[in-house]
Amino acid sequence: MERNAAGGPSIDSQEAGRAAGPGVGMVNRRDLLVGMTGIACAWSSHAASELVVAQVGPLTGPLGPNGLANYIGAKACFDLVNAQDGINGVKIRFVREDDRYKADETVRLLELVTKRDKPVAFVNILGSANVSSVLKGKLLDRLEVPVIGVTPGAEDLRQPGSPWLFHVHAGDKSQIERILGHLSTLGIGRLAVVYQDIPFGKNGLALVDKLAGPMKVDILGRVPVPAGADDLKVAASELRKTGAQTYLMILAPNSGASLVRDVREAGDRTPIYGMSYVPADAIVAKAPPGSAVGVALAQVMPNASTLNTGMTREFHRAITKFAPEVTEPSQLHLVGYLAARITVEGLRLAGANPTPASLARALRRIRLDLGGYSVDFTGADNVGSRYVNIGVVDARGRLMY
C-alpha cells in the first residue's frame, strides 16, 4: 500500500473506493444510507480481526497542519497500543480521510467511511462549520458511531450537542472565562476583540459580551475577520484605533498567527491574548523576529513541550518511537494523542468484541487520571475536562506555563 509522509496509508476517497470494489468510491449519499441498518449486524456477527478507528478531518487547506498534527499524535498512540498486542489481542487499524476543511466533505466522508470500513469510532473531527453541519443533519444519530475529540469547543456544538459526540477538552466558555478572569486580576479592564466571522468566532464573541460585565471588563471594539483570512492589516489598524489595553483574538490558527504579525509589524506592542487553537510555532513562524514573545494563549491540556506529567512523558515516548520525524511535539499533536488515548481506554472498558454502541456506553463510565490530566465522562454533557491554563510564548518560541 502506498504510504504518506506521516507514515500512514495514503488514501483519498476515490482511491479508497476503487480498493474497496467497483463503484464504491463514487457512491452517492442515498446509496450510502441504504444498507446502514446492516452495519450493526456486520459489527456483531463475529469476533473482530481488527478494530477500525477513523479520522475525517483536514489534511490539506488552511487547517491542514492542524488535522495532520492531530493525525500524527493519534497514530503514535495507536501504534504504541498495537506494539503492546492491541486491545485484548486485537490490533487497531487507523484510517484517515481528508475533508479539506469543507463541511459537505466532512458529511460525505463520515458516511463513506462508516459504510466502507465499519469503524468503532471516529477521532479528531475539526471545524465549527463542519461539526455544525454534522449536528444539524443529525448524521451521528443515523451512523451511530461515537466521535471522540472535537475542535473547536464552541458551546453550540456542546449544548445540546449529540450523545455520540465526546468532547475531551474544555470548551470556549471555559477558555474565555479563564482569560477574562486573568485580565481582571491584572487590573486590565479595556479590551478589544477580533473574531472570525464564522460560527466559532461569533459564538466566542457572544461569550465575551456575556461574561465581560460581571468581570468588570469593557469591550471597546469588535473587529470581524473573514474566514481563512491571512492579511489582517485592516483588522490590526481597527484594533489600534480602539485604544484598548489588550487585544483578544478568537481566530482560527492561520488568522491568529497573521494577526500577531500584522499588529507587530505596524509597531503596535499592545498585549495579545488568544484561544488554544492558535499554535505558538505558527505565530513564531509568521511574526517578526522576537515579536511573538509575551503573546498569551489559553491552553486546554498540559504543556506538550515538557515532561512534567505522566501523560506528557508517555506522549513523548510514543512520538519519539513512532513519529521520529516530529522534532518538536506540539499541543496539536497532544490533542490528537489524547483523543486516541481516551478511545483506547473506552475500548478496553467495552470488553471483548466492542461495537460503536458498546464503546459509547463504556466512554460514559470513564472517570480517570491519565497522569496529570483528569477525564470524567460520567456527567450528562459528554464533556470530559474543564482544564484551562494560560501559556505565554517565551524567547525560544515555546509556550511557558
Which residues form the domain of 239? 172-299
CB 56 within 8 A of CB 122: yes
Query: CA-CA distance, 244 to 250, in Å (whole number)?
Result: 16
How far is it, in rounded angstroms, from Cα 118 to Cα 353? 13
Please tell me the least confidently modeled range out of 150-159, 241-250, 381-390: 150-159
Does residue 253 sit in the same domain as residue 324?
no
What is the value of pTM for the model shown?
0.81
Give me the DSSP letters along 55-107.
Answer: EEE-SSSTTHHHHHHHHHHHHHHHHHHHHTTTBTTB-EEEEEEE-TT-HHHHH
Residue 372 lies inside a defined structural domain of this protein? yes
**172 and 156 in contact (C-beta within 8 Å)?**
no
User: Does residue 197 sit in the same domain as residue 228?
Assistant: yes
Strands 190-196 and 246-250: parallel
Q: Which residue type is seen at 166?
A: F
Asked if residue 397 is part of any domain, the answer here is no
- Counts for the chain of helices (H) and strands (E), in that order: 15, 14
Report yes or no: 342 and 168 within 8 Å, Cβ to Cβ.
yes
268-291: per-residue pLDDT in tens?
999 999 999 998 989 999 999 899
Strands (E), 197-245: 218-225
Contacts 24+ apart (CB under 8 A), 214-218: 215/180, 215/181, 215/183, 215/184, 216/184, 216/189, 217/180, 217/183, 217/184, 217/188, 217/189, 217/190, 217/191, 218/189, 218/190, 218/191
Q: Which residues of 4-28 are buried (b: 16+ CB within 10 A; e: fewer)?
A: eebebbebebeebbeeeeeebbebe
In a shared domain, residues 191 and 274: yes
Q: Do the domain assignments include residue 390?
A: no
pLDDT in tens, 343-396: 999 999 999 999 999 999 999 999 999 999 999 999 888 999 999 999 999 998
Residue 162, pLDDT above cutoff 50: yes
Residues 144 and 257 grouped into a single domain = no
Same domain, 71 and 194: no
386 belongs to a structural domain: no
Q: Is 5 inside any structural domain?
A: no
Claim to verify: residue 74 and residue 158 sit in the same structural domain: yes
pLDDT at 156: 85
Domain assignment present for residue 401? The answer is: no
Q: pLDDT tens, 321-330?
A: 999 999 999 9
- Would you say residue 83 lies in a domain? yes
Q: Domain check: are 95 and 191 in the same one?
A: no
The per-residue pLDDT for 40 is: 45
Out of 299, 319, 338, a domain closes at 299
The rounded distance, in Å, linking the Cα atoms of 256 and 232 is 9
Based on the structure, what is the number of domains in the chain? Answer: 2
Is residue 19 located within the same domain as residue 32? Answer: yes
The pLDDT of residue 338: 97
The CATH number covering residue 208 comes to 3.40.50.2300
CA dihedral 210, 214, 220, 223 (to 10 degrees): -30
Residue appearing with cell numbers 479528531: 124
Same domain, residue pair 323 and 252: no
Query: Which residues, 6+ apart, have CB-to-CB distance to 261 below 8 Å?
Result: 232, 283, 286, 287, 288, 291
**Same structural domain, 21 and 140:** yes
For 339-357, the DSSP string reads: HHHHHHHHHHHH-SS--HH
At residue 16 the predicted structure's pLDDT band, cuts being 50, 70 and 90, is: very low
Q: What are phi and psi of 360, to 5 degrees?
A: -60, -40
Last residue within a domain, chosen from 264, 299, 334: 299
pLDDT tens for residues 43-68? 543 457 999 999 999 999 988 999 99
Residue 36 has pLDDT above 90, yes or no: no
Kindly list the distances between the CA atom of residue 389 and the CA atoms of 274, 277, 300, 301, 306, in Å, as whole numbers in the listed order. Answer: 12, 13, 6, 8, 14
Q: Of all helices (H) and strands (E), which one includes residue 186?
A: helix 172-186
Q: What percent of the chain has pLDDT over 90?
A: 79
Q: Are residues 122 and 224 in the same domain?
A: no
pLDDT of 17 strictly over 80: no
Average pLDDT value over all residues in the chain: 89
**Per-residue confidence (pLDDT) for residue 47, from 0 to 100:** 57
Domain check: are 210 and 324 in the same one? no
Nearest to residue 202, comparing CAs of 218, 229, 222?
222
Band (pLDDT 50/70/90 cuts) for residue 251 is very high
Looking at 265, 299, 333, which one is the last position of a domain?
299
pLDDT score of 199: 85
For the cut 60, the answer to whether the pLDDT of residue 169 exceeds it is yes
Which residues make beta-bridge pairs with 225? Answer: 196
* Choice between 233 and 20, residue whose per-residue pLDDT is larger: 233
Q: Is the dihedral of CA 317, 319, 323, 326 positive or negative?
A: negative
Q: Is residue 346 included in any domain, yes or no?
A: yes
| Residue pointed to by grid coordinates 457512491 | 27
